[in-house]
Amino acid sequence: MAAERLPLIVSVHDVAPGTRATCEKILGEIGRCGVDVCSLLVVPDYHRSGKAMDDRDFVGWLRELEAAGHEIVIHGYFHQRPRREREALGARLLTRAYTADEGEFFDLPYEEALERITRARDDFAAAGLKPRGFIAPAWLLGAEAERAARDAEMEYTTRLTTVRDLRAGEDFRARSLVYSVRSEWRRMVSLAWNAMLGQVLRETPLLRVGIHPPDVMHRNIWGQITRSLETFSAVRSCTTYRDWIADRRASCSGGES
């Protein structure tokens, strides 16, 4: 019997009414690369431009995607973090250089994080969607916000190098390929880094690729992403975080629910 293929999870970040057209293009193109399901990271109120769940056409589109096997994930709430006075150097580097003031849940207090996550969870559920996971913008999730995500009954979260089962409190090491395109030097570094990383991670138990809407606007970046996905999907099985977590739990429990 042929060996079971290793999993591939592709996540499309920053899905919102304002990015829908680009996200539709991404889904169409990665579908032609063999990626038939992915995790869609939906921002409840992207940059305070309006609540996504109030857009009926957008919600209908998400429900169709969910019915087709894609996963809807709560991705922050506003996807913005106001700058703080007298921040430490490390915090400034992470929230301003690593990400452009979008590390919303980096140091958000527990109560505020819980309120935002539960509000998003309930709004998504009222719209007929079934989010199981919460992923912070830029993967910057502080300890208090992680506790809030668990208490809001989220099943899992992810960071750049790990997937965390919030129910079991366990981490699974799996680094994500992801690109930074805000400047030419970032794009050059991303191309070299991800070319190397793709080779290093070829045999890793779980391979992750994160895509952001601006990626598709840069020919060299998008070309590398699509070529990589064609290669990966030819030898791996595409899945979602939701389904991967469920399969791993079943495997660890010997098939018991």
Q: What is the pLDDT of residues 162-221, one digit of tens each?
A: 999 999 999 999 999 999 998 899 999 999 999 999 999 999 999 999 999 999 999 999
pTM of the predicted protein model: 0.90
Query: Which of helix, strand or coil describes residue 153?
Result: coil
pLDDT at 116: 96
Q: Phi/psi zone of residue 24: left (φ > 0), alpha (ψ -120 to 50 degrees), beta? A: alpha
Contacts of 103 (CB under 8 A, 6+ apart): 81, 94, 95, 136, 137, 138, 140
Radius of gyration of the chain (CA): 18
Q: Which helix (H) or strand (E) holds 157?
A: strand 156-158
Mean pLDDT (the chain) is: 90
pLDDT the model gives residue 256: 45
Q: Is the model more confident about 92 or about 137?
A: 137
- Helix orientation angle between 143-151 and 110-126, rounded to the nearest 10 degrees: 40
Domains of the chain: 7-252 (3.20.20.370)
Q: Are 239 and 38 in contact (CB under 8 A)?
A: no
Q: Could you tell me the pLDDT band of residue 2, with boundaries at 50, 70 and 90?
A: very low
Cα 108 to Cα 26, 33, 91, 173, 208, distances in angstroms? 31, 38, 13, 25, 26
Region 30-41: mean pLDDT is 98
**Mean pLDDT on 65-85:** 85
- Give tens-digit pLDDT for 223-254: 999 999 999 999 999 999 999 999 999 887 76
pLDDT band for 1, please (50, 70, 90 cuts): very low
Task: Identify the weakest region by mean pLDDT among 56-60, 81-85, 220-224.
Answer: 81-85
What pLDDT is recorded for position 3? 62
Give the H or E element holding residue 197: helix 184-200
Q: How big is the CA angle at 67 (ends 61 and 73), to the nearest 5 degrees?
A: 70
CB 34, CB 110: distance < 8 Å: no
